[in-house]
Chains A and B, each alone.
Chain A
Amino acid sequence: MNLMRLLRGDTDAPEWYDFPGGVHPPENKTQSLRGPIAEFPLQEEYVVPLNQHIGAVSVPVVEVGESVLTGQVIAEAAGFISAPAHAPTSGTVTAIEDRPVPHPSGLTTGCIIIRADGHDTWRPRTPWAHLQDHHHTDLLARIQNAGLTGLGGASFPTAVKLAADRNHVDTLIVNGTECEPYITADHALMRERPQQILRGIEVAHELYDFRRILIGVEDNKPDAVSALRRALTAIPAELEARIELRVFPTRYPSGGEKQLVYLLTGQEVPAGGLPTDLGMLCHNVGTLAALADAVFDDRPLISRITTLTGNQLPWQGNIEVRLGTDIRTILDWAGYQPDPNRAERIIMGGPMMGFALDQRQLPLVKATNCLLVPTEQELPTPPPAKPCIRCGQCEQVCPAGLLPQQLMWFAQSHEWDKAESHHLFDCIECGACAYVCPSHIPLVQYYRFAKGSIRREQAEHRQSERARLRFEARQARLEREAAEKEARRRQRAEAARARQAEQATTPTADSSPADPVAAAVARSKARKQASQSAAGRATATVSPGAPELTREQLSARLDSQRRRLEKAEAKLAAAAPEHQKAMETTVSKLREQIHKTEQQLADRPEREA
Chain B
Amino acid sequence: MLTPSSPHAVGNQSVQQVMFSVWAATLPGFAALIWFFGWGYLINAVLAVATALVAEAIILRLRRRPVWFFLGDGSALLTAWLLALALPPLAPWWIPVIGTLAAIVFAKHLYGGLGNNPFNPAMVGYAVLLISFPVEMTTRWGIPAALATEAHSLLDSARVIFAGLRVDPALVDGMTMATPLDVYKNDIATLDAAELRAEPLFSAGWRVYGWEWVSGLYLLGGLYLLWRRIITWHIPVAVLGSLTLLALLFSWNPDLRVPVDLHLLGGATMLGAFFIATDPVSAATSNRGKLVFGAGIGILIYVIRTWGNYPDAVAFAVLLMNFAAPLIDHYTRPRVYGEGRS
Contact = CB atoms under 8 A, between A and B. Distances in A.
Interface of A: 20, 23, 25-26, 104, 181, 258, 262, 268-273, 277, 343-345, 347, 349, 351-356, 358, 372, 374, 379-384, 386-393, 395-396, 399-403, 405-406, 422-423, 426, 429, 431, 434-440, 442, 444-445, 448
Contacts of A381: 2-3
B247 to A, nearest CB: 28
Contact of B13 (A268, A393, A406): A393
A353 B9 CA distance: 9
B194 interface: no
B339 A423 contact: yes
A273 B337 CA distance: 11
B15 A439 contact: yes
Given A390-B115, A439-B15, A271 B341 contact: yes
Contacts of B285: 390, 392, 395, 403, 405-406
A270 B338 contact: yes
Contacts of A372: 8
Interface residues of B, number: 46
A438 B14 contact: yes
5 pairs of A and B residues whose beta carbons are closest in the complex: A431-B7, A270-B342, A351-B9, A387-B115, A271-B338
User: B5, B7, B230, B283: which has the most chain A beta carbons within 10 Å?
Assistant: B7
B206 interface: no
Nearest to B338: A271
12 contacts: A270-B342, A354-B6, A390-B281, A391-B230, A392-B286, A392-B290, A401-B335, A426-B336, A434-B7, A435-B10, A437-B11, A438-B13
Contact of A444 (B7, B11, B342): B7
A268 B337 contact: yes
Interface string B321-342: 0000000010001111111111
A435 B286 contact: no
A383 B7 contact: no
B1 A358 contact: yes
A389 B115 contact: yes
Nearest to A431: B7
Given A271-B341, A391-B18, A438-B13, A356 B1 contact: yes
Contacts of B69: 384, 386
Given A345-B2, A389-B15, A395-B285, A352 B342 contact: no
Given A390-B115, A434-B10, A104 B4 contact: yes
Q: What is the predominant secondary structure among interface residues of chain B facing chain A?
A: loop
Contact of A438 (B9, B17, B232, B340): B17
B6 A390 contact: no
B280 A392 contact: yes
User: B15, B229, B281: which has the most chain A beta carbons within 10 Å?
Assistant: B15
Nearest to B9: A351
B338 A403 contact: no
User: A20, A273, A381, A387: which has the most chain B beta carbons within 10 Å?
Assistant: A387
Given A258-B337, A270-B341, A355 B114 contact: no
Contact of A273 (B2, B286, B290, B342): B342
A438 B281 CA distance: 13
Given A358-B4, A374-B8, A391-B230, 11 more contacts: A25-B9, A181-B9, A269-B338, A271-B336, A272-B338, A356-B5, A386-B69, A389-B280, A390-B115, A402-B336, A438-B18
B326 to A, nearest CB: 11
B6 A353 contact: yes
Interface string B1-42: 111111111110111011000000000000000000000000
A426 B338 contact: yes
A384 B10 CA distance: 12
Contact of A389 (B18, B229, B339): B18
A511 to B, nearest CB: 87
A442 B9 contact: no
A398 to B, nearest CB: 9
B75 interface: yes
